[in-house]
Structure 1
């Protein structure tokens, strides 16, 4: 194992439930999000969209104007969750949100 691999493996990980709760807090508490990329949600159309909320960094895949999945979430103190680590087996924090919560999140993203 290389030094870089060792460093990566010792970083604490967030769970899918942790990330889902962050998303829920954004929705319910109306936390101010800011985009962390040059383009708006509507301009991206089908790509990764980066946002920041109170030190959290989240990456959500925009699929033709709709939320597809959460790609990554990094907490202010370092622990992270990554879609890459769990693979494409349906383990996505957005799936833990109710349909109404997903709709509100999508509206919030469209207004950035």
Structure 2
């Protein structure tokens, strides 16, 4: 049985996209959510068109998942682990591709 993804694993995928190591593709844009693909990793990001607030969930190609449980405040949001520069890069990529 596959184990759950960790916040650090999801954050690393976001870092790879920020650094240009992996391509970030916007798959779907909604009012407050953006679905992205980072080389097979599917992420749902809470993005208001300017600011990235948090990652709602992530599914990796192997079927492992990570989900933010806001109600219980359990776990760490991968977005909060990004540096200021990395966050700015991801926000720039999201704005470019909306």
Do the two structures share a fold, i.e. TM-score over 0.5? yes
Larger radius of gyration: 1
1:26 to 10, 17, 21: 17
The structure with the greater share of residues assigned to helix is 1
**1:85 Cα deviation (Å)?**
7.7
- C-alpha spacing 1:30/1:108, structure 2 compared with 1 (3 Å): farther
| Number of residue pairs the alignment of both structures matches | 97
CA RMSD of aligned residues (A): 2.2
Could you say which residue in structure 2 is the equivalent of 1:91? 76
For structure 1, the 5+ residue unaligned runs are 1-9
- C-alpha spacing 1:80/1:25, structure 2 compared with 1 (3 Å): same
* Runs of at least 4 residues off by over 3 Å: 85-90
**TM-score, scaled relative to structure 2:** 0.84
Aligned: 1:70 with 2:55: yes
Could you say which residue in structure 2 is the equivalent of 1:51? 36
User: CA deviation digits over 1:60-93, x for unaligned, max 9?
Assistant: 1013521000111110111111013884357211
